[in-house]
Structure 1
Amino acid sequence: MTLLTRHNFRVELVLSGLGGDEALVQGTTENPKGAFSEVAGLEIAIEPVTFREGGYHAGPRQLPGKTTTVPLVLKRGLSLDPGFWHWIRRCTQGGYPLPYISGSVFVRGPNPAEEDAAEFRFVNGFASKVKTADLNAGDARDVPIEELHIVHEGWWRQDA
């Protein structure tokens, strides 16, 4: 069974090892997964550092400074994977080891049999907000996850 028939993005959460939450993947051969229709938050802001250099009269010099990111927001999704929901539960319990996860957002091409169009990786993330959809037994099209916010320590586009 595939979760990707009605979703444009495949999200695979990969155990980073930095949080020490090895229990997340015990008893499973695959990494926890979910599928989502929208992904937002692929944004990086680099604060410029301005300084004046002696002997350089054209104006102030600019250097890249502190980098900040915003949370990844995954919208209208689904995960039937128990490891995924175990990770969400670990994020809410506040215990040690920390529930840090590194993962990837794969952009699917128009043909599911083809390779993914792009891969964006994030590091040391945890769930900061989970919003589920209203559940309705009469409508099988309900989407169980409306929004999942993942705060993280950085992201990049993975080269093919």
Structure 2
Amino acid sequence: MTEQALEFFTEPLPKYRFLVVLGPAAAHLPPEQAALLPLTAQGAFQQVTGLGAQLEVTAYPEGGVNDRLRQFPVRHAWNRIVLHRGVARGPGLWAWYRAGLGNPLGARRSGAVLLMDAAGVPGAVWAFRGGLASKWTGPDLHGERSEVALEQLEIAHEGLVAVEQAVPELG
């Protein structure tokens, strides 16, 4: 096994090197939102939470089997992705949220969260599709603290995909 391949399998990725990319979804992007795309600070996020999913399962007691319950899948649900960042001048995330309020289908965007390795190369990528800005939260303001004002945007989406990364040659 080469040294590069060995490092690929043994080095865990740091959680502080990540990038968020938000792109337009072709069918549901209102013109006023399309004009705001260059203003969105892509990648300028302090924290991303909610990368996950769960499978709803129903327990079924099978007749004559008293030592266990059968488990059957019902439906799959995706967690909401929450982006946290310092409040920046300009419309940014608020504009995306507001654009969805006036459109009956919402203002959908797809995007991805890229986790980088020490060299700045994407080590893991999660892409989501059909994202709606479902909740915007402004900063908590406090006159006695010298902290950065943070805003949050919650994204409800229609699916998360772990994008496969190239594995170095073994051998």
State the TM-score, normalizing by the size of structure 2: 0.63
The answer to which of 8-17 and 126-135 deviates more is: 126-135
Secondary structure of 1:33's partner? coil
RMSD: 3.8
Q: How many residues align?
A: 147
Q: Is the 8 A contact 2:133 2:153 kept in 1?
A: yes
Residue 51 of structure 1 and its aligned partner are, at CA, apart by 6.0
The answer to which of 35-44 and 71-80 deviates more is: 71-80
Secondary structure of 2:28's partner? coil
Kindly indicate whether residue 109 of structure 2 is the aligned counterpart of residue 101 of structure 1.
Answer: yes
Secondary structure of 2:27's partner? coil
Kindly indicate whether residue 133 of structure 2 is the aligned counterpart of residue 127 of structure 1.
Answer: yes
Residue 37 of structure 1 and its aligned partner are, at CA, apart by 2.2
Correspondences of 1:1-160 after superposition (within 5 Å): 8-21=17-30, 23-26=32-35, 33-49=42-58, 62-77=71-86, 86-91=95-100, 93-96=101-104, 98-111=106-119, 114-133=120-139, 134=141, 142-143=148-149, 145-160=150-165
Q: Quote the Cα distance in structure 2 between the aligned partners of 1:70 and 1:117.
A: 22
Q: Quote the Cα distance in structure 1 between the aligned partners of 2:38 and 2:44.
A: 18
Q: Quote the Cα distance in structure 2 between the aligned partners of 1:88 and 1:118.
A: 27
Q: Is the 8 A contact 1:15 1:22 kept in 2?
A: no
| Unmatched 5+ stretches in structure 2 | 1-15, 166-171
Q: Quote the Cα distance in structure 1 between the aligned partners of 2:114 and 2:91.
A: 20
Q: Quote the Cα distance in structure 2 between the aligned partners of 1:63 and 1:75.
A: 36
Paired AA for residue 151 in structure 1: A
Paired AA for residue 102 in structure 2: G
Paired AA for residue 84 in structure 2: K
Q: Quote the Cα distance in structure 2 between the aligned partners of 1:103 and 1:72.
A: 11
Q: Quote the Cα distance in structure 2 between the aligned partners of 1:68 and 1:24.
A: 28
- Relative to 1, partners in 2 of residues 1:27 and 1:19: Cα closer, same or farther, differing over 3 Å? closer
Please name the residue that 2:169 is paired with.
none
- Relative to 1, partners in 2 of residues 1:27 and 1:87: Cα closer, same or farther, differing over 3 Å? closer
**Structure showing greater Rg:** 2
Residue 12 of structure 1 and its aligned partner are, at CA, apart by 0.8
Paired AA for residue 76 in structure 1: R
| Unmatched 5+ stretches in structure 1 | 1-6
- Percent of residue pairs bearing the same amino acid type: 27
Residue 44 of structure 1 and its aligned partner are, at CA, apart by 0.9
Residue 42 of structure 1 and its aligned partner are, at CA, apart by 1.3
Choose between structure 1 and 2: higher helix proportion: 2
